Structure 1
Amino acid sequence: MLQIMIFAGLMFINMAAGIFTLVLGMLGLKNLISRTPNNRLVNRLKNSAVFFMILSFVSLGFVFYTQFAAGTPAIRDEKGSIIKDSIAEMRRIEINGRKQWISIRGHNKNNPVILFLAGGPGGTQMAAVRHDLKELEKYFVVVNWDQPGSGKSYYAEKVSDITPKTYIEDGYVLTNYLRETFEQQKIFLVGESWGSALGIFLIDRYPNAYHAFVGTGQMVDFKETERIDYQKAMELAKAAKDTDIIRKLEQNGIPPYYGDDVTWKSAVYINYLSAYMSSDTRIHNAGYNTFRDIFSSEYGLIDKMNYIRGIIKTFNHVYQQLYGIDLRKDYVSLKVPVYFFEGRYDINAPLSLVEEYVNTIDAPAKQIVWFEHSGHNPWINESGKFVEELKKLLPR
């Protein structure tokens, strides 16, 4: 928060300086300076110009400093000492020619590796997973990946060039990087929301790379999900006599949406459903702690801005490419055990679709694990149980 306040103050001063300079130019004081070099006013203007120039360099330096200083905190014991054999790193690696960031955290770097696939597309959850699944680091090496077009990897690829194939190809290269780095034949895979679909794509295409897959807030059929969500939001809005939301939903029409305003149209019902779940007393620890996460140490000032840009711009471009995907039709024969950790009160990713999907799957093992006090995010709502269920997948 302090970084943002300082940066905002500096930017405000620089903007004021720019306006001030523009006004001087319009008044023709440039000629005045050349004709009256000893004028007291002119000297003040020169000093002001130098001051604002220095301030601009300081502002730019501060931005680069926050990027350079961004990192993930060390893992320490109760006495404050760094735990032996622990790992807590941020790494910038090149994947298929694209520079991307991952965070790696674990009490013991020799533990099994688990790769967490964030939601979105365009979302980053490095900080959220560190805060909410801290206990998981005792049993796994937890790796978070900022996918192209999100957070610290926002510039890895032009947003307009990103496709689902981009994520699949990069996800597999990253998987092999982790297997080689930690000398493990296979890793575990966890995907939430959009990441749950990406996880299915990966285990379907590269089954030999993964011990098991866990999907939470599981997405199944993107187009049908949007229609169900829209109808649910309309139902809730009418019951609450929320005329503003009803008007917006009617104005936007029934999804799917295409074009440049997918994010904003979808946000009407997605945010409404999220707010409803946050107010549901049956759901524990409801909702994201967005301010905590965006101001976490993992992100510099540019990353913080890209945190938002990814959610808006990348989501808008990629999500409409997913409407033709239905896992029930194209991803039913899987060679990796699959588990779905589902919140009983999730109204974002329809549970009926998840149950239908499980019934169609042919896999070495398959199971829905229900979280009775969760909505769309069991890994946040009931993080303790989430960790305990993941531990059950470890080799005995």
Structure 2
Amino acid sequence: MKNKNNRLICIDEYVRINGIDQFLFHLGTSFDNPVMLFLHGGPGSAESLFTGVFQDRWEEIYTVVHWDQRGAGKTLNKNPDKLPTIELMLQDLFEVIQYLKKKYNKKKLVIFGHSWGSVLGTVFIRKHPEEVEYYIGAGQVISMVENEQVGYNKVKEFIEQAGDKKSLKKLESIGEYPGSKIVFDKEFLRKCSIVRKLQGKYKLGLEIGIGIWITAFKSPLFKFSDIIAFMKILKANSKVHSFLGDFNLRTESKEYKVPVYYILGGRDWQAPYVIAEDYFKDIKAPNKELFIIPNAGHFLMMDQPGLVFDVLSAINFKQHEEKNMEALKDLPGSLKQATVI
């Protein structure tokens, strides 16, 4: 694979994780930088093919590692019969972190979870806070049922304001949505597809069109087998979907043992930012901060890459500042006065 930016760290590899070979893609400029593990969305929608669109500047301050999860991308192609459950994915994630800690000589990693990755990441940091320096949730999911209810109401509001009778008829044709419980069966997926297309039309959600595929084709990692993997993700992730349908952070403790940062798109109504914003107010964590990116949707990194980088820079600086302040506490008084941070 070409190292187009001449990065010091540019590795694509398969690593034996939890009994199967899983794909990792590393990019970075310094071994001294913190290691960020990027947890992609879906379940099953590997984002390693899109790094060139939004990530170049991230690599100045982090070593960024993309992991094609079990049931996604190149890992799915390599292991078509080794399909995920939430228990397997949490163990996979633990082992990926152990591998990266050893490889880069780090005590902890930064976790960046996007969409479904924010679900997996949040569950993991509750279970293994000792492994994580801090957590960043982008397009953070709080409750799947609430997501769909709020997203449906918002697109209906836009359609009615526009006097778009044709779209309103399409939306109302699906009947009650999503119901009191989400089951990822054919009927729900049919209804969800209609809602997503209308959200895309009104710039309220992610549109999966030709532009997305052109971006993927341009990736140095791209192979036609990646398209085949994408076509298989619904079936491959059926057991994870059953977990996701019931997911609701509001029913759990809001106590976190690691710093928590949310980066939300100000026009994201696929995982509506207003839900995460409301939930975030009650979080208790060692540090916490919420950022809303204007004119950004569910894939906020691609919509506003410059602003997202500015936020990551601020988070990274804040975390280093905290570390420096902790280190100062251990210095003799005479040295504290002479130390400049």
- TM-score calculated relative to the size of structure 2: 0.82
What's 2:255 paired with? 333
Cα deviation per residue 1:228-249 (whole Å; 9 max; x = unaligned)? 2223333334444243563365
Between 1:209-218 and 1:254-263, the stretch displaced more is 254-263
3-state secondary structure, aligned to 1:130: helix
27, 43, 48: which is aligned to 1:126?
48
**Contact 2:73–2:226 under 8 Å retained in 1:** yes
Tell me: CA distance 1:95–1:263, structure 2 relative to 1, closer, same or farther (3 Å): farther
Cα deviation per residue 1:313-352 (whole Å; 9 max; x = unaligned)? 3455533431222112224111000011112222111223
Tell me: CA distance 1:156–1:364, structure 2 relative to 1, closer, same or farther (3 Å): farther
Q: Note if 1:224 corresponds to 2:146.
A: yes
**Contact 1:122–1:149 under 8 Å retained in 2:** yes
107, 114, 137: which is aligned to 2:36?
114
Supply the distance in 1 between the matched residues of 2:129 and 2:210 (Cα, whole angstroms): 33
**Contact 2:39–2:113 under 8 Å retained in 1:** yes
**Contact 1:371–1:382 under 8 Å retained in 2:** yes
Cα deviation per residue 1:23-54 (whole Å; 9 max; x = unaligned)? xxxxxxxxxxxxxxxxxxxxxxxxxxxxxxxx
What's 1:292 paired with? 215
Q: Note if 1:392 corresponds to 2:314.
A: yes
1:29-108 aligned within 5 A:
71=1, 73-76=2-5, 82-83=6-7, 86-108=8-30
Supply the distance in 2 between the matched residues of 1:159 and 1:331 (Cα, whole angstroms): 35
Displacement of 1:355: 2.1
Cα deviation per residue 1:344-378 (whole Å; 9 max; x = unaligned)? 22211122321221122111011111212322222
276, 280, 288: which is aligned to 2:202?
276
Q: Note if 1:183 corresponds to 2:109.
A: no
- Listed as ranges, the gaps of 5+ residues in structure 2 are 322-341
- Listed as ranges, the gaps of 5+ residues in structure 1 are 1-70, 77-81, 281-285
**Contact 1:260–1:316 under 8 Å retained in 2:** no
What's 1:151 paired with? 73
3-state secondary structure, aligned to 1:114: strand
**Contact 2:155–2:204 under 8 Å retained in 1:** no
Matched to 1:277, the amino acid is K
What's 2:130 paired with? 208
Percent identical pairs in the alignment equals 24
250, 265, 270: which is aligned to 2:191?
265
Matched to 1:300, the amino acid is K
Displacement of 1:112: 1.3
Cα deviation per residue 1:93-121 (whole Å; 9 max; x = unaligned)? 12111221010011223321111111111
376, 380, 387: which is aligned to 2:298?
376
Q: How many residues align?
A: 312
Supply the distance in 1 between the matched residues of 2:232 and 2:259 (Cα, whole angstroms): 35
Tell me: CA distance 1:135–1:149, structure 2 relative to 1, closer, same or farther (3 Å): same
Supply the distance in 2 between the matched residues of 1:351 and 1:384 (Cα, whole angstroms): 19
Supply the distance in 2 between the matched residues of 1:242 and 1:148 (Cα, whole angstroms): 42
Displacement of 1:75: 4.7
3-state secondary structure, aligned to 2:203: helix
Supply the distance in 2 between the matched residues of 1:264 and 1:315 (Cα, whole angstroms): 17
Tell me: CA distance 1:160–1:269, structure 2 relative to 1, closer, same or farther (3 Å): farther
Displacement of 1:294: 4.2
What's 1:47 paired with? none
Supply the distance in 1 between the matched residues of 2:53 and 2:190 (Cα, whole angstroms): 29
Over the residues paired in the alignment, what is the CA RMSD in angstroms?
Answer: 2.7
Displacement of 1:163: 2.0
Supply the distance in 2 between the matched residues of 1:159 and 1:356 (Cα, whole angstroms): 40
Matched to 1:276, the amino acid is Y
**Contact 2:199–2:205 under 8 Å retained in 1:** no
Supply the distance in 2 between the matched residues of 1:238 and 1:160 (Cα, whole angstroms): 46
343, 360, 372: which is aligned to 2:282?
360
**Contact 1:219–1:354 under 8 Å retained in 2:** yes
Supply the distance in 2 between the matched residues of 1:365 and 1:378 (Cα, whole angstroms): 23
Supply the distance in 2 between the matched residues of 1:288 and 1:191 (Cα, whole angstroms): 23
